[in-house]
Amino acid sequence: MNNPHRIVVLGAGYTGMLAAVRLARRTRKLDVAITLVNPSARFTERLRMHQIAAGQELADHRIPELLAGTGVEFVQGWATSIDTAGRQVLVDCTTAMHYDTLVYALGSSTDTDTVPGAADHAWTLNDPRAAHRFSERLAVVEADGGNVAVCGGGLTGIEAAAEIAENHPGLTVTLVSGSEPGAMMGDKARAYLNRTLDRLGVAREIGQAVTKVLPDAVELANGDVVPTDLILWTTGVRVSPLAAQAGIETDARGLIVVDSTLHSVSHPNIHAIGDAAAVRQAWGQIHGTCQSGLPTAAHTADTIARELRGKKAKPFRFGYVHQPVSLGRKDAVIQFTKANDTAGRFHLAGRAAVMYKEAVSSSPVPTFRMSTKMTMSVQLSKGGKATRATA
């Protein structure tokens, strides 16, 4: 009897989970063994981390339960090194796992190393346990009539500031950003966003980057100091150094450089997906979101299944559709976009936008479950003409 083709998936975030369950479905008639490696047995809903930070309880989804019936083996532990020559992954510095095909889905986290003091004095949304402890601190600070600074005017910072302000009306919430919050949106959607932040009482410090984080304040580029009792850091992105350390070709940010089919250009038996991959389209490079990550996972699962059957891989095509932003539990704004993620003509706001955003945020887990039974479509757009234009 031949040895099975061993597929190891590193990381059980949105992309790693979908890749594993879809691979199991697509290769169920082939002689393969699929292993999913992740430090935690709990599935983390990154789209909802700001809700945990604001004090809300989320459903406890367990990875082994999500994998039930798929045949995928779950190994709880940290991937600590990759031996590309020997085709092995070392888990927790002790257990060597052989692979024939590796799916690298280790994702990204908030970078606290670039700005002095951020790692020492600011909280992040990198881990649900830390987000929960942050929520406990919020309650203490609110009881004293204190204030919290949310640093970063991207979508995560906006959602966190709004969620905290709505759940903790006794707090003073300040959103600190070097650029205008919602700058990627169109004028109407951005105006709605700002009106909602005003309604929620979110103050803004805009136009100056944070240059230093102190125990009780943040210092801005112009020398101003914003006093605060608690700091949430949502700006900057970093990825695991594991790929670069293994000699896999990466870009300046540490993302694995992939070809048009999402194979590593230096190690073709390695596939990179989601935030871990430097994926280029004719219109530019994809940035890490669930919207783009799930299609890379589905494409890679399908590619591996095709190649195991002796078929040629197809190029990945993708275009953005929307920028969904929750503004607490009772409001939201959705900016519909062009394929390159620039603002389109239309937006959605208010109650309809809340329903739309909730549908987006809640869709991954049901998608995992349905993907064990059928091949689910997870891609809203392949970009149309934008992906066929000359780069």
Could you tell me if 88 and 229 lie in one domain? no
CA–CA gap between residue 302 and residue 183 (Å, rounded): 36
Which H or E element spans position 354? helix 351-362
Please give the torsion angle defined by the CA atoms of residues 204, 134, 238 and 245, in that order, rounded to the nearest 10 degrees.
Answer: 170
Number of domains composing the chain: 2
What is the CATH number for 186?
3.50.50.60
77 in Cβ contact with 39 (< 8 Å): yes
Same domain, 135 and 217: yes
User: Range of 162's domain?
Assistant: 118-233
pLDDT at 383: 86
- Inter-residue contact 175 to 197 (CB < 8 Å): yes
Q: How far apart are CA 313 and CA 300, in angstroms?
A: 9
The pTM is what? 0.95
Q: For the purposes of burial, counting CB atoms within 10 Å of the CB of 338, is it exposed (0-12), middle (13-18) or buried (19 or more)?
A: middle
CA–CA distance, 323 with 55 (Å, rounded to integer) = 24
When computed from its CA atoms, the radius of gyration of the chain, rounded to whole angstroms, is 21
CA distance 301 to 316: 12
| 206 and 259 both lie in a single domain | no
Question: What confidence tens digit (pLDDT) does each residue in 339-391 have?
Answer: 999 999 999 999 999 999 999 999 999 999 999 999 989 998 898 877 765 43
Q: Is residue 72 part of a domain?
A: yes
pLDDT at 351: 97
Backbone angles phi, psi at 370, to 5 degrees: -70, -30
- Of 263, 284, 317, the last residue of a domain is 317
Look at residues 183, 217, 233 and tell me which one is the last residue of a structural domain. 233
**Residues 149, 75 share a domain:** no
Please give the average pLDDT of every successive group of 10 residues along the chain, which has 391 residues.
90 98 97 98 95 95 97 97 98 95 96 96 96 96 96 96 97 96 96 98 96 97 97 96 98 96 98 97 92 97 98 96 97 97 97 97 95 91 73 38
